[in-house]
Amino acid sequence: MEAHSHATPPADGPTLGSLPVEPLLTAEFDVDPGAVYERLRSTYGPVAPVGLMGVPVWLVLGYTEVTEVLRNESLWRRDIRYWRARAEGRLPRDWPLLAGYEVRQMMFMDDDEHLGARRTHHSALSPFQDARSPEGWQLRAAVARYADELVGMLAAESGSVGFADLGAQYTRPLLLMVTTKLFGCPVELGDELVMDLWRMLDGGPDSGPATARALGAFTRLAAHRRARPGDDLTSYMLLADPGLSDEQLGRELFMNAVYLNDITGNMVLNTLLEVLRGNATVRRSLSAGQLGETVNRAALANPPVANMCFRFAARDVRLGEVWVRAGDAVSPSAAAAHHDLLAISSSHLVGSTVSTRAHLGWGAGPHQCPSAARELGGMIVATAVGRVLDHFARAELTLPPDQLPWRSGPVVRGLRLLPVRYELRAGVLPAQRRDPAEPSTAPTADGYARRLLTVLRRLMPGGKEEDRVLP
Ligand code: HEM
């Protein structure tokens, strides 16, 4: 691959802007992204031009090409100032994905600036991923307790046998409770956070104002914790780099909140789905008691970061069968690349271990998910899935797997709902219903989760416009 990188593209060769592109985000892509990746691959090879909400980019589909882009940071840059279309003013000003890309935080930095920011994140996250440190075991205990309380609420609301949406009634509130605890958020920030992160990530028409509101909320959180430090990630980021301004810390927290809420939440749901739909290897790893392996297998089948954020070519380079020109945007697709891995692992020549070791669910190269964050994310997913398996005697999907509604954005693939018919094991205690007249003192997880549930239900598809909390 590198052998080509200093060669010159043919003068009359096609450029990204000159090629006809098919839009990626279609109804077909929502339902069956694998079929879209296969069609693109058979038309163009391992790198294909696609349209993302009207803007042409290269989608990298082949495993070899994806790992090349992720690992070679001198050629594939993250800083969006390398993006030629942006520098030349060719992006529509209201392009819905621009708001997220304009947030200058660690993901969109290169070289020493990036390394410095990564050190700060690592140092601030480490105490929480270490099960032997007080912060680590307190967080572990809190995740398990929140999960138990949410199952208890389910028992209180719907009984020990009933129907539930494990997205809205379990996973999403769980991740928000964990974020609130980890970030040291005053409770009021929670509702703002969930609504605006979803709007920004989905690239909706109001993604710009939603991003600005979420950044404002995290900047206020940074200022709050600077004045009143605690045992939380926000305060530890400031300890690790006291030179961080409130605005920059706000931007870093914003990006972490995306991973902690949306990506980790989708990993929980995708893992539960693989278990419920009876993925044979997932079930085997479960029955062998290897929950970590179960999570890896689910990441292979359905990585929540399906298509990673853009890299920009530092110079003209041949990738797959196309010439990518300096400043073109490329999106490495973990989901498409996993098709190659699944094909290899089903070969008679290679053992099944290939697949879990080589998956790109955490990314690869200098921008891969930091080790402390991976530990933390893995612990949260394993605990959340493990508590469901502990508490449910039986759970089955109420929709055929191919009819489940997916949120299929430019980056994330995650379930909108995970509807199940369930039976709880004996001994799951329903959460206590509080008398509404009783004044609430400290914000309990139960009370907080109930408020979140109300908000989340308003956000669900079909929720009434007049019920929405934000304009
Ligand atoms: C199961 C859950 C998680 C998954 C599947 C996941 C996946 C990923 C992936 C694929 C990337 C690389 C993206 C790219 O190269 O474009 C990444 C980066 C990152 N993740 Fe995670 N992540 C998870 C949990 C977390 C958590 C819990 C945190 C923090 C609390 C976190 C923080 C980060 C950060 C800060 C980066 C950017 C690293 C950089 O640019 O150098 N992640 N993650």
Q: Are residues 165 and 123 in the same domain?
A: yes
Among the candidates 315, 332, 360, a domain finishes at: 360
Atom of ligand 1 minimally distant from the CA of 118: 41
Domain identity same for 15 and 151? no
263 and 217 co-located in one domain: yes
Q: Can you give the three-state secondary structure of the chain, one letter per residue?
A: CHHHCCCCCCCCCCCHHHCCCEECCCHHHHHCHHHHHHHHHHHHCCEEEEEECCEEEEEECCHHHHHHHHHCCCCEECCHHHCHHHHCCCCCCCCCCHHHHCCCCHHHCCHHHHHHHHHHHHHHHHHHHCCCCHHHHHHHHHHHHHHHHHHHHHHHHHCCEEEEECHHHHHHHHHHHHHHHHHCCCCCHHHHHHHHHHHHHCCCCCHHHHHHHHHHHHHHHHHHHHHCCCCCHHHHHHHHCCCCCHHHHHHHHHHHHHHHHHHHHHHHHHHHHHHHCCCHHHHHHHHCCCHHHHHHHHHHHCCCECECCCEEECCCEEECCEEECCCCEEEEEHHHHHHHHHHHHCCCCCCCHHHHHHCCCCCCHHHCCCHHHHHHHHHHHHHHHHHHHHHEEEEEECCCHHHCCEEECCCEEEECCCEEEEEECCCCCCCCCCCCCCCCCCCCHHHHHHHHHHHHHHHCCCCCHHHCCCC
Each residue's pLDDT tens digit, 425-440:
987 777 765 444 443 3
Same domain, 295 and 312: no
Q: Residues 236, 347: one domain?
A: no
Of 360, 376, 403, the last residue of a domain is 360
Residues 254, 389, single domain; the answer is yes
**Whether residue 270 is found in the same domain as residue 193:** yes
Give the Å distance between the CA of 99 and the centre of ligand 1: 19
Q: How does pLDDT run across 375-425, given as a tens digit for each residue?
A: 999 999 999 999 998 899 999 999 998 899 998 889 999 998 999 999 999
* pLDDT class of 167 with cuts at 50, 70, 90: very high
CA 462–ligand 1 middle distance (angstroms): 31
Model pLDDT for residues 55-88, shown as the tens digit of each residue: 999 999 999 999 999 999 999 999 999 999 999 9
86 and 230 together in one domain: no
Do 17 and 125 belong together in one domain?
no
Same domain, 435 and 350: no
Residue closest by Cα to atom 21 of ligand 1: 369
The minimum-distance atom of ligand 1 relative to the CA of 260 is 27
- Ligand 1 atom nearest residue 309's Cα: 16
- For residues 356 and 374, state if they share a domain: no
CATH number of the CATH domain containing 44: 3.30.43.20
Residue 451 banded pLDDT, cuts 50, 70, 90? low
What is the Cα–Cα distance from 273 to 298, expressed in whole angstroms? 9
Report CA(362)–ligand 1 centroid distance (Å): 6
Condensed to tens digits (0 to 9), the pLDDT of residues 173-208 reads 899 899 989 999 876 455 567 678 878 877 877 899
Q: Whose CA is nearest to atom 3 of ligand 1?
A: 264
Is the pLDDT confidence value at 356 over 80?
A: no
The domain boundary residue, chosen from 335, 360, 385: 360
Per-residue pLDDT, 376: 94
What is the rounded CA–CA span in Å between residue 179 and residue 184?
8
Please give the pLDDT value at position 395. 92
Task: Identify the residues whose C-beta falls under 6 Å from ligand 1.
Answer: 106-107, 118, 121, 255-256, 259-260, 263-264, 267, 304-305, 308-309, 361-363, 367-370, 373, 376-377, 381
**pLDDT for the residue 456:** 41
Whether residues 149 and 196 share a domain: the answer is: yes
The parent domain of residue 77 ranges over 1-97+306-360
What's the CATH code of the domain at 204? 1.10.630.10
The total number of structural domains that make up the chain:
2
